[in-house]
Amino acid sequence: MYLIDRMVEARIEEAERRGDFQDLPGAGKPLNLEDDSMVPEELRTAYRLLRNGGFIPEELRLRKEIREVEDLLATATDQSLKDQHSKRLRLLLDRLGRERGMNPALSADYFEQVCQRLERR
């Protein structure tokens, strides 16, 4: 740990002992973790409007759907359902790969790894 990190940690611990963090506004409420620091400043307002309107980038939508299908595949007991979910997962992984400009063979490898992991459960 760097010297500056130690100094910061020491000050935080000191403030905690003094009770400086007691009764802060928003205490006990979830944090707002919408970090848009990687979005260029001139686009942040537009991104917030789109996000608040329910629009998300295609890659994020695909990733969410992939997680949902992986969960369905992990809990499926019927072989026909497993086959159906596997096909859907492969399609989603291919779309995600195209969205990222990846080689479809790489997504096939990932698909096989996911299937192997889910079979172990």
Model confidence pLDDT, tens digit, residues 1-52: 578 888 889 999 999 999 988 888 887 788 776 777 777 888 888 888 888 8
The domains of the chain are located at: 58-120
pLDDT at 98: 78
Q: Which helix (H) or strand (E) segment is 4 a member of? A: helix 3-18
- In whole angstroms, give the CA distance from residue 101 to residue 85: 24
- In whole angstroms, give the CA distance from residue 84 to residue 24: 50
What mean pLDDT, rounded, does the chain reach?
81
Residue 76 has pLDDT above 80, yes or no: yes
pLDDT band, very low/low/confident/very high, at 113 (cuts 50, 70, 90): confident
pLDDT band, very low/low/confident/very high, at 111 (cuts 50, 70, 90): low
The model's pTM is 0.47
Q: How far apart are the first and last CA of the chain?
A: 39
